Amino acid sequence: MLRIAIQKSGRLNEESQRLLAECGIRVDNGADQLKAVARNFPLQVYYLRNSDIPQYLADGVCDAAIVGENTLKEKGLPFVKHLALGFGRCRLSLAIPKSERYTDISWFNGKRIATSYPNTLRKILQERAIDAEIHEISGSVEIAPNIGLADGICDLVSSGGTLERNGLKEVESLFSSEACLVSSSRISSDAQTLLDRLVFRLVSVLNAQNNKYVLLNAPNHKIQAISQILPGIKSPTVMPLAEPGWSSLHSVIGEDRFWEILDQLKAAGAEGILIIPIEKMVS
Ligand code: PRT
């Protein structure tokens, strides 16, 4: 069996469970269970604290995990990264009180910085030749400047709302993070074979999430121009309509360029454009 760890509760839990479900894997999980076995895939799911997962991977207690990249970086333990999963996005940033004048990162020389990410911060400060004092605290980092514990903070930011509410401004974004699928460097070859099957399913799910199926009608003399706009997997499917001189074109468009391509299609003479979500996309 493949043993995979996911966060027990917190920001990554729901999406991790949803991804496994989208891969067709059925796991019955009672709220307080530490482990559960999937009904239709040789998989055992361990529900753990996100911050504990790197150690379990390094010890070989789990074969694989869905975990935040920031946590892996902070722990500095060995792992193999397979996929970025597109959720749990955030950035590790430096922030200071809004009233302070900020020029560049040298502002932090001789200052005290509160953080739950001391190892990552220490490394980055060293790389940038900044000599600051690091205060490690385990939570509510954002209140540190207000209570006089630090001059600035280094913490995860997503919407920026927490900084705003605490009178802080983000001045340096140090790195971006998202949830990713990783494996233990001690994974057995049997577990690796199962992990490869899981990765194949996850890639199909993620591709489907990031693409849309598009159907449109066009007069035959515009097919060539429209085909050049449609990226598609190979080239668009072209089928004649019942009305002479008209065809239907089918293709796949990536989410990131979706609206831009739609505008171009309309300008090139496409009509009756339909956009359909894709269930799975196997490449
Ligand atoms: O307890 P456990 O170890 O399981 O989890 P955890 O302590 O790591 O807590 P959790 O569930 O909060 O975070 C799990 C993971 O979610 C993190 O390791 C990140 O990979 C990811 N993630 C994504 C975030 C955020 N976004 C995030 N915004 N983790 C924390 N935050 C916090 C941040 O620390 C700050 O307090 O949210 C606040 C800022 O949010 P905004 O939206 O106000 O900017």
How far apart CA 96 and CA 142 sit, in angstroms, is: 9
For ligand 1, whether the C-beta of 138 sits within 6 Å is no
* Secondary structure letter of residue 153 according to DSSP: E
Q: Can you name the residues that pair with 256 across neighbouring β-strands?
A: none
For 264, the 3-state DSSP assignment is: helix
DSSP 200-232: HHHHHHHHHHTEEEEEEEEEGGGHHHHHHH---
Taking CA atoms, 267 is separated from 28, 157, 254, 273, in Å, by 50, 40, 19, 12
Q: Is the pLDDT of residue 157 over 90?
A: yes
> In 150-188, which positions are buried (b, 16+ CB within 10 angstroms) versus exposed (e)?
bbbbbbbbeeeebbeebebbbbbebeebbbbbbbbeebe
Average pLDDT, the chain: 94
Taking the complete model, does pTM exceed 0.95, yes or no?
no
Instruction: Classify residue 232 by burial, with Cβ atoms within 10 Å: 0-12, 13-18, 19+.
Output: middle
Ligand 1 geometric centre to CA of 11 (Å): 6
Give the confidence band of 31 by pLDDT, cuts at 50, 70, 90: low
Confidence category of residue 90, pLDDT binned at 50, 70, 90: very high
pLDDT exceeds 80 at position 53: yes
Instruction: Express each pLDDT in 93-123 by its tens digit.
Output: 999 999 999 999 999 999 999 999 999 999 9
**66 CA distance to ligand 1 middle (Å):** 14
Q: Each residue of 216-275: pLDDT tens digit?
A: 999 999 999 999 998 766 788 999 999 999 999 999 998 888 889 999 999 999 999 999
Closest CA to ligand 1's atom 42: 159
Q: Please, what is the Cα angle at 76 between 75 and 80, to 5 degrees?
A: 110
Residue 44 pLDDT greater than 80, yes or no: yes
Query: In angstroms, rounded to a whole number, what is the distance separating the alpha carbons of residues 180 and 19?
Result: 12
Quick check: 65 pLDDT over 70?
Answer: yes
Say how many Å lie between the CA of residue 62 and the centre of ligand 1.
22
First to last CA, the chain: 26
Structure tokens at 17: 């469970």
88 lines ligand 1 (CB under 6 A): yes
Q: Is 54 in the pocket of ligand 1 (CB under 6 A)?
A: no
| CA dihedral over 108, 112, 114, 118, signed as positive or negative | positive
Centre of ligand 1 from the C-alpha of residue 6, in Å: 15
How many other CB atoms are there within 10 angstroms of residue 216's CB atom? 23
pLDDT tier, 172 (very low <50, low <70, confident <90, very high otherwise)? very high
* Cα of 136 from ligand 1 centre, angstroms: 16
From the CB of 10, is ligand 1 less than 6 Å away?
A: yes
Query: b vs e for 256-280, b when ≥16 Cβ sit within 10 Å of the residue's Cβ?
Result: eeeeebbebbeebebeeeeeeeeee
